Amino acid sequence: MNILLVYPKFPDTFWSFSHALPFIGKKAAFPPLGLLTVAALLPEQFQTHLVDLNTAPLGDDDLAWADMAFISAMAIQRESAVAVIDRCVANGLKIVAGGPLFTARPNDFEQVDHLVLDEAEVTLPIFIADLANGCPKRIYNADGYPDIHQSPIPLWDLIDARRYASMNIQYSRGCPFNCEFCNITALYGRTPRTKTPRQIIAELDAIYRTGWRGNIFFVDDNFIGNKGALKKQLLPALIQWRQDKKGCVFFTEASINLADDPELMDMMAAAGFDSVFIGIETPDADSLAECCKTHNANRDLLEDVKTIHRSGLQVMGGFIVGFDSDPPSIFQRQIDFIQQSGIVTAMVGMLQAPPGTRLFQRLESEHRVSEEFSGDNVDGRTNIIPAMGLDKLVDGYRAIMEQIYSPRQYYQRVRRILKDLKTPAATAPLDRQRILAFWRAGLRLGVLGKERFQYWRLLAWTLARRPRLLPLAVTLAIYGYHYRRVCELHIL
């Protein structure tokens, strides 16, 4: 059987990095890890072909070759996923769909023949067995969470790694916290399930054998959810793995309590991590209590960020406005916090209620869910009726974005983080594309860009104060260009 695996296209958002990728000659930020894992779960006699619409178009010959199409998507890919489904239907192709988009809203996709939902390690083998027996059902749900010790190595030979800015890998699923707005616990539970160090090393070896020597994203929603296993098992294995390897720098997502554990931060830096995304959400104590972000409460969040920076890990931060408890001052307080913290990559979004979350259930009971959840934090929309009023929320959100991504304020944060950041223990090698990126940035940002004064000032400052961080300074300048373009096109 010929199986066509299709990954829908991401719209232009902060996370797409679509305006930064041309600087390094790449097509997409990350490959479709879920579909690559699904491909590895399929019977060996199946022929597989993967089309990632973020790197290449879906051709008529792809559809004609296939006996069945497998589609996986997140909520933000909905529009593209619907277009792919329509093309498959028009070509008479049977459709199997899974992933967060379809798991959250299975009733929205009547044209899909088979919905294989929840985690594929549980539901996909049952579907394959039913398919072989000629009695496949339309919907498959899991009764519980799988033992991911049985999760296979993704089939990396299905993609061209050269088209991507970073590879990705997953160590754990689930998060011990239960934030009201987050659907992670609904999808994967509150008890983190981890792979063994042997599994992770085998996956890293598979990536390394492709010739990859760049960034690798640990896609865990909270990498430090099980600190004991991390410190005793995985991090020592990663430190040993890196001893005879060139390149490969890691980054991940974690909670702010990382700042409480100097040993853990030191081990992560030694293992090759150079940055971490943290959901800070808000500096307002009442709003943190409202959304049950208890692990962020009663802390000096600014000092926590600086502590993590001093360990050699750059903090990328997530922020939210639109909580019921947000006071009128919240917009300026968010701006002040972001500027003072030196968080360069500040992903600010209006509060949305994903289906399946406690927030969605609460607001739906209050008749305050107003439209479909888009999953896009920069489209200037929300699917809820905010307590402060929609116009006030939108105006305040735009004010934040206009200020924090203006060249002057953005480059101020870059200098601040370069001043605070301990030089990372691991750095990505300067390959041909990264060298070309320096010259492309010099032309686009330093000559043609409205930020040209700030750009050259940053480079001069970095050469004088932190010369070893010059590649990072150029990278952050390129990111700033991407964020400003997204703001100009979709928000302001």
pTM: 0.96
Give the model's confidence band at 254: pLDDT under 50 very low, under 70 low, under 90 confident, else very high: very high
Contact indicator for 81, 106 with CB cutoff of 8 Å: no
- Separation CA 89–CA 346 (nearest Å): 40
Secondary structure (H, E, C), 283-345:
CCHHHHHHCCCHHHCCCCHHHHHHHHHHCCCEEEEEEEECCCCCCCCHHHHHHHHHHHHCCCC
Q: Is residue 101 within 8 Å of residue 356, measured between CB atoms?
A: no
Q: Per the structure block, which two tokens stand in for 20?
A: 């930064």
Residues 386-439: pLDDT tens digits? 999 999 999 999 999 999 999 999 999 999 999 999 999 888 878 888 899 999
| Cα angle 276-277-278, degrees, rounded to a multiple of 5 | 115
Distance CA 35, CA 50 (A): 8
Identify the band that residue 267 occupies on the pLDDT scale cut at 50, 70 and 90.
Answer: very high
pLDDT in tens, 52-75: 999 999 999 999 999 999 999 999
| Per-residue confidence band for 492, with pLDDT thresholds at 50, 70 and 90 | confident
* Residue of 380 and 111 predicted with greater confidence: 111
